[in-house]
Amino acid sequence: MNLKNKHLLLSGGWINGQEVQHDRKFPVFNPATGEVITEVSDLDATHASDAITAANIAFEDWKKRPLPERVELVKAWADRIEKNADDLGTIICSENGKPYREARGEALQCAALLRWFADNVQRQQGEDYPSGNESQRNYTIKQAVGVVACITPWNFPAAAVAVKSGAAIVTGCTTITKPSDETPLIALAFAKLSGDAGLPAGVFNVIPCKNPAAVGNELCASPDVRMLSFTGSTRTGKHLYAACGNTIKRLALELGGNAPFVVFDDADIENAVSAALGARFYNSGQICVGANRFLVHEDIYDEFAEKLAERVGQMTVGDGFDEANDIGPMINQAAIDRLIYLVDSATSMGAKILAGGTPVDGEGLFFSPTLIANMSVEMPAFNTEIFGPVACLYKFSDEDEAMRLANDTDAGLSAYVFTSDQNRLLRCSEALDAGVIGANSANIFSNDLPFGGMKQSGIGKEHGMQCLDEFVETKSICLGL
């Protein structure tokens, strides 16, 4: 990996402001080539305990730091991330596989998000309340929760670190990040930059490991860890939810999705098709808000399918460092196997492939951009988070059927609806059971807009003031005079 700043490629964990090595290592692969990028220390529950101790000690000082000082240090961290965006993009592209332009953009977005948190944290203010007693004053203050464990995924390995740790740290918390074993390098690079920016030792810790259960159990069981923020599968989220029960931790869970993408017969088809490409194929389709079920009105179904098939067929697949490519590799062979199963099961039940449908021959974990028509609710893809470059088309005949099909899932993270009827647009936006709605748009992320799911897609919010609020306690003070 060719980096201008060689110091960003760490091979050990980061505990109490120092790199921590371990004799046991695990390889980190480039999914586009299969090559080993480097080997990283495989830390364990003992190291997790050390990180908890360091974070707990650091918290006693960090929570008392004047807010302007915390803000300036977080901004200095953001400055270093932005300055090193080229190298950080290279790290993300290498270990995750996403196109380099997306990887570099993710790094820059992390810097922007940290600055947003730093600029807006002062809006967290207590309130004065009237008292019925002239010799008493009642008011509230905001105080940091404490040590926060952050378990982050591989699909947005930098953004997930920034949105969790950045918000926690600026509010006065200290953090322990356990990144995915598929993509630990970007979290470690962020750790190095946090030290360079002057964040005190113990405020930001990173525990790379190949055995997440051991480290996760230590984080869940420790009473010194007061909150856990997790992004990942619903199945793992349920396990962590239960594991945190004995210590009654605060939880923020951003879990799986099964987003419907509803296109009515009066929609702007060109706009809907362009939005569909972003909603399904961004990040090679490996995105929790990705449109899983394209519900298209029967009167425009064929036209929409034809136009989308043409666009999908034009997409290019290959190494993310080649600027010509739109789609990078899947993260591992299990992801390829899941896509093969979903496509094969659909076609065996009568679905029709309009584009793609198979892995790409040759080295790497590439799957061709795929569009499948004639889908039905009985097919496994209807209730499966696809997490790859596969779009599935279903028909509906009226609004009631569209909303019933759209909400026929335990997930409720995101949903999309396209229509030129403004009354219907508002009606459906309110009827869809999802935390984030794209109404005639697939652009559903903004630093100041809360993001989070309903139903089994999680609890809590990321981005916006609601994200900062996750990491503070509101304390009521009744002051006798």
Indicate which residues carry an active-site annotation. 254, 288
Which H or E run contains 427? helix 422-431
**Single-letter amino acid, residue 68:** P
Q: Identity (one letter) of the amino acid at 253?
A: L
Spatial distance between the Cα atoms of 246 and 205, rounded to a whole number of angstroms:
24
Beta strands 174-178 and 147-151: pairing type?
parallel
CA-to-CA dists, residue 95 to 2, 20, 327, angstroms: 13, 21, 15
- Distance, in Å, from the CA atom of 283 to the CA atom of 157, rounded to the nearest integer, reads 12
Strand order in the sheet with 472-480: 128-129, 136-144, 472-480
Give, for 448, the enclosing helix (H) or strand (E): none
Query: How many residues appear in the chain?
Result: 481
Closest-CA residue to 264 (of 237, 219, 296): 296
Contact 194, 203 (CB under 8 A): yes
Give residue 57's region: left, alpha or beta (phi > 0; psi -120 to 50): alpha
Q: How many helices (H) and strands (E) does the chain have?
A: 15, 22
In whole angstroms, give the CA distance from residue 160 to residue 471: 15
CA 71, CA 165: separation in Å to the nearest integer?
Answer: 14
Give a three-class secondary structure readout of 44-113.
Answer: CHHHHHHHHHHHHHHHHHHCCCCHHHHHHHHHHHHHHHHHCHHHHHHHHHHHHCCCHHHHHHHHHHHHHH
List all residues 6 or more positions away from 383 whose beta carbon is below 8 Å from its beta carbon. Answer: 258, 409
Helices (H), 269-374: 269-281, 301-313, 333-348
User: Which of 271, 280, 272, 251 has its CA nearest to residue 372?
Assistant: 280
Torsion of CA 453, 459, 465, 467, to 10 degrees: -110
